[in-house]
Amino acid sequence: MNVLNEWAFIGVFFLLAPLLPALPIVLGGVFAPHKPNAIKTDTYECGVETVGNTWVQFKVQYYLYGLIFLVFDVEMVFLFPWALAYKQLDFFAFGAGLLFIFLLTDALFYAWGKNALAWD
């Protein structure tokens, strides 16, 4: 198989993967009863009527974790080529990688010191 075919396989897979689980849902739609009423489709909140808008403001901590994750995820993408070629490289590559990882670690400890990782 050539390279194009490898990706054609992934492409077809991407199209088919959501369709396979969608099939039983569609079947369920055929077989299951469908009798909605106002009480049944009401938002479930343990029997109490909901107050106000659902899309409320959320804790800022989630946002901070998201930011830290972004830093790490981007750095990870840069580490993959380094790890891939590592066997063919010499000590200089280790030094370069170490510097890069040091910056990453520094960012983590900075966030830690700034209490960005505290949950309260």
Partner 1 sequence: MDCINQLAQCLSAGGMDSGLAEFISIFLGVTLTATFPLLVTILLIWVERKFAARIQDRIGPNRVGPFGLLQPLADVVKLLGKENITPQGADKPIYNFAPPLMVASVLLIWAVVPFSPYHIGSDLEIGALYTIAVASIGTLAVMMAGWASNNKYALLGAFRVVAQLISYEVPLAMAILVPVMLAGSMSMQDIVTAQYGMWFMFSAPVAAFLFFISSQAETGRAPFDLLEAESELVAGFNIEYSGMKFAMFFAGEFMHVFTNGVLMAVFFSGGWLGPFAEQAPILGAIYLLGKASVWYMLSLWLRNSVPRLRIDQMMNFNWKFLVPMSILNLVVTAFLLQVIKQAGLGPADAGNFLQNIPQTLILLLGNGFVAYVMLSWARSKGRAARAADEAKKMNAATAASVAVGD
Take residue 8 and report the two structure tokens written for it. Answer: 């054609």
Q: Contacting partner 1 (CB under 8 A), which of 47, 49, 57, 62?
A: 62
Rg, C-alpha atoms of the chain: 25
Residue from the set 98, 99, 110, 114 that interacts with partner 1 by CB under 8 A = 98
Q: Look at residues 74, 94, 67 and name the one whose alpha carbon lies nearest to residue 82.
A: 94
In whole angstroms, how close is the CB of 45 to partner 1 at the nearest point? 7
The correct pick among 47, 49, 60, 73 for binding partner 1 (CB under 8 A) is 73
Q: How many C-beta atoms surround the C-beta of residue 50 within 10 A?
A: 10
Q: Give the one residue of 49, 57, 113, 119 binding partner 1; rule: CB under 8 A.
A: 119
Residues 13-52 that bind partner 1 (CB under 8 A): 13-14, 16-22, 24-25, 27-29, 31-36, 38, 40-46, 50
Q: Which of 106, 101, 107 is nearest to 79 (CA)?
A: 101
